[in-house]
Amino acid sequence: MRVYLDNAATTSIDSEVLKEMFYMMENQFGNPSSIHSHGREVRTAIEKARKTVANLLHASPAEIFFTSGGTEADNMAIRSGIADYGIKHAITARTEHHAVLHTFEALEKSGVIKLSYVDTDTRGNINMSHLNELLSSNERSFVSLMHANNELGTLTDIEAVGDLCEQYDALFHCDTVQTMGHYPHDLQRLKVHFITCAAHKLHGPKGAGFLYVNHAIKINPLILGGSQERNMRGGTENVYGIVGLAKALEIAYRDMAGHQEHVQGLKSYMKERLEKEIKDVQFNGETDPEKSLYTVLNVSFPEMEMADMLLFSLDIAGISASGGSACSSGSNIGSHVLEAIGANPGRPAVRFSFSKFNTLEEIDYTIEKLKGLCAS
């Protein structure tokens, strides 16, 4: 049996999405910047996709800019937002994705900003009192905090963060890559200036994403070139990726309730079986379903002689997952997220992440293989 439990890394493309993309590939190949009929047909498809995304998020089509994915969108929001508003102070958390952390670190190293890290607890929750302190004791700040941690699954109350940022006139960027399509986002109500999406996290294609820029914010492009994306991103658009992204998000919203019930059931079932079958197993991140992304379960297994071989052994058994241990005094490369929350570096950790295509039978198979590996 082959089991794929690494959906936080990427997902398989939905057949409905493929159908939409194949139609475009076979029938509409024009350059969307061309003014003739072949180009206009493709331009229409892009703008239809933009309208679809905007309507689902309760945004304006003029606030949606298509990108190559979440990393580009994060970079565009952070670099352009900081540069164009002359911001000298930024706040993030050590548990953020490297697309955010490395961007801030580069800006700090070059002297553009002073970077502050908000405290997190042992489950990855943001310390809101500390965030308030950082915002109140510095000049205007740029805040970047993700909706759900990609390794732990811990959810951040981004409504509360948005309210706090508004109080201190801070710009708020939220990496919603892991939650887009899994939770509804109402951007008329949420006080956020930038959010990001990567299509391949919600059964869409790789190489496509978008950046939402609130209408009150005006930034300059990160990638210069032509006048594409209303002069905000040079380069011929990834038409098939954009069409696939919009269809994937449409499907995700259409099936959201059933998807969540199914996937949460898989996660809860696996957690219960692990607790029953493997002695001294521990879970990283929030375990309260109301505070945890239902697609992610991060597990620390008992210390074992072949800890560094656990993922490899799962792979040999046909099970795809990801993870690692916390870094130990900088002597080994491990998870910066697990290190930030103080996880035991001696315990091998595995992130299992689920999708609508996973089954209970796959979970049972995985548990049986884990029992054997932990007993050896």
| CATH code of the domain covering residue 137 | 3.40.640.10
Q: Domain end: 254, 287, 303, which one?
A: 254
What's the average model confidence in pLDDT over 10-39? 95
Q: Does pLDDT of 196 surpass 60?
A: yes
Q: Quick one: tokens of 41?
A: 């047909």
Same domain, 116 and 186: yes
Same domain, 234 and 297: no
The pLDDT score that the predictor gives to residue 375 is: 78
The H or E element spanning position 130 is helix 128-136
According to DSSP, the β-strands at 296-300 and 282-284 are antiparallel
Same domain, 221 and 280: no
139-182: pLDDT as tens digits = 999 999 999 999 999 999 999 999 999 999 999 999 999 999 99
Lowest mean pLDDT across 310-314, 331-335, 356-360: 331-335
The pLDDT score that the predictor gives to residue 376 is: 67
Q: Three-state DSSP class for 141?
A: strand
Instruction: Count CA atoms within 13 Å of residue 250 on its CB side.
Output: 16
- The reported pTM is 0.95
Q: Does pLDDT of 325 surpass 70?
A: no
Same domain, 44 and 193: yes
211-261: pLDDT as tens digits = 999 999 999 999 999 999 999 999 999 999 999 999 999 999 999 999 999
Residues contacting residue 230 through CB under 8 Å, at least 6 positions apart:
62, 65
Same domain, 243 and 290: no
Q: Report yes or no: 124 and 149 within 8 Å, Cβ to Cβ.
A: yes
Phi then psi for residue 238, to 5 deg, are -80, 80
71-96: pLDDT as tens digits = 999 999 999 999 999 999 999 999 99
Same domain, 162 and 211: yes
Full domain range(s) for residue 288: 3-11+256-375
How far apart, in whole angstroms, are the C-alpha atoms of residue 106 and residue 90?
12
Q: Report yes or no: 281 and 299 within 8 Å, Cβ to Cβ.
A: yes
Domain count, the chain: 2
Q: Quick one: tokens of 253?
A: 């919203």
Q: Domain end: 254, 270, 291, which one?
A: 254
Same domain, 265 and 242: no
Q: 59: closest CA among 216, 200, 179?
A: 216
Same domain, 136 and 236: yes
How far apart, in whole angstroms, are the C-alpha atoms of residue 164 and residue 23?
46
Domain of residue 270, CATH code: 3.90.1150.10
327 as an active site residue: the answer is: yes
The pLDDT score that the predictor gives to residue 287 is: 87
Same domain, 328 and 363: yes
Split at pLDDT 50, 70, 90, the class of 346 is: confident
Same domain, 107 and 242: yes
CA distances from 160 to 127, 201, 327 (A): 11, 25, 31
Lowest mean pLDDT across 33-42, 69-78, 291-300, 304-313: 304-313
> DSSP readout, 3-47?
EE-BTTT--PPPHHHHHHHHHHHHH----TT--SHHHHHHHHHHH
Sort 363 into a burial class: Cβ within 10 Å, 0-12 / 13-18 / 19+: buried
Q: Quick one: tokens of 271?
A: 């957690």
- Tell me the torsion sign for CA atoms 133, 139, 140, 145: negative
Same domain, 34 and 156: yes
Give residue 110's identity as a one-letter amino acid code.
S
How far apart, in whole angstroms, are the C-alpha atoms of residue 117 and residue 104?
11
Q: Does pLDDT of 327 surpass 50?
A: no
Lowest mean pLDDT across 38-47, 116-125, 333-342: 333-342
Torsional class of 207: left (φ above 0), alpha (ψ -120 to 50), beta (otherwise): left
Q: Domain end: 201, 220, 254, which one?
A: 254
Same domain, 319 and 181: no
Q: Report yes or no: 243 and 20 within 8 Å, Cβ to Cβ.
A: yes
The one catalytic residue in 165, 174, 197, 327 is 327
